[in-house]
Structure 1
Amino acid sequence: MANPFIFIMTIFFLSHFTTAAETHTFGRTISPATLGLTNKPQKLSHLRFFFHDIIGGPNQTAFRIVEAPATVKSPTRFGAVVMMDNPLTELPELGSKVVGRAQGMYASASMDELGYLMVLNFAFTEGKYNGSNLSVLGRNRVFSAVREMPVVGGSGLFRFAHGYAQARTHFLGELEAVVEYNVYVFHY
C-alpha cells in the first residue's frame, strides 16, 4: 500500500498550485477592442527635429552627474553619465521654434570609441503631438555619420509606439552639439 503521508502531501501541493494559478490576478490577456484599437489602423509617422546638447556656458542643458575614477584618463570618457533636458527645435538654429525637449541621460559605455548608451524621452510640446512622448533606448556611436537607435515605446498619441530614430550630427562645437533626428514610428 502507498504511503498515506506522500499521498496527502501530493494532493496538498497539487491543490495549492492549482489554487494559486486560478487566483493570480495581477495580469490577464485582454482584447485590443477593450482599448478601442480594433478599428484604428496603425500609422507610420516621420518626425524631423534638431537636438541641442549644450554642455557649458550660461544656457547649459546637459550636466555630468557621475564619473568613474578612471574617466578623466579615458580618451572616450568611459564611465561618465550626463543628465540632459535639451531643446528640440524645428530648424538647426537654437532660436528656431522649440517643438519639445529631450529628457534623459547618456553614458559613455565604450572603452574603444566614443559610444553612448542613450536613455531618453522626446517630450513634445507643439502641434498635435503636444503632451505626447517617445522613448529611445540604444547605442549612439557619436562619430558615425548616421546612428540608429530603437524607439521602444511612447505615450499620448504614441501609445504602443515602436520604430527607430536616426541621428546625424549637424554641428559639433566646443560647448554644443546640434544633432538632426529623423524618427520613424508606428503608432495608433
Structure 2
Amino acid sequence: MLVKPLLIPDIFGYRVVEVGVPAEHLTTLDHEMELPTPNYRPDREWDGQKFVCSRLDDAAVWEPWRVPGFETRDTGVEDGTKGVAAVRIVRPITAEEQTASVTSHDSDILFTFVLSGSCTLHGEGQDSQTLSEGDAYTLPPGHKTCLADPSADLSLLEVSLPGRFNTTVHPNEKLPI
C-alpha cells in the first residue's frame, strides 16, 4: 500500500515524521515547561519507555539489513521502547548493479518512508511503484515484495511493530516488473 503521509518541513534542520500507533491519542502542551530543560535525565521513563534522540552524526555502526544488498543503522527506539517498536535507517550497500531479492515478513506493522533518493517497489499482485523522497508505504505480513534500482543516495526510514520480527528471503522467486 503506497501512502503519502504528512511531511512536516525541516524545522531547525530536523525532519519530523510522526507515526502514532494506535492513531488515537491525546496530545497536550505544557505552557510552563522551558525547553530545553536544564535537567538532563536520559534514564527517565514514561509509561515504561524512554525518549530517544538519534543523530546522523552519531551513526557509526551500519549492519546488514533484513533485505540483501542493503545496510541499516539502529536509532535506539527498540531499546527505548523495550522491543515494542523499532526505527531503522536503511541505505543500499553499493550503487553497483545488484539482484533484487524477493522478501516477506511477519511484522504486525511495517511502515517505510523514503528520506532521500529513489527506488522501485515491486509487490506481489500489484503494479510496480517508483518511490522518491517523501513517499511512504506499508507492507502487510506475508506479502512478497522486492526493492529494485536503488539510487546511490537512497535512504529509508523503517518503522516496525514489534521491534523484532522475521523476514523470509525467497531466493528462487521473481516478481513481475
- Tell me whether the two structures share a fold, i.e. TM-score over 0.5: no
- Return the index of the structure with the highest Cα Rg: 1
- Richer in helix (by share): 1
Between 1 and 2, higher relative CO (CA 8 Å, sep ≥ 6) is seen in 2
TM-score for both structures, normalised by structure 1 = 0.28
User: Which is richer in strand?
Assistant: 1
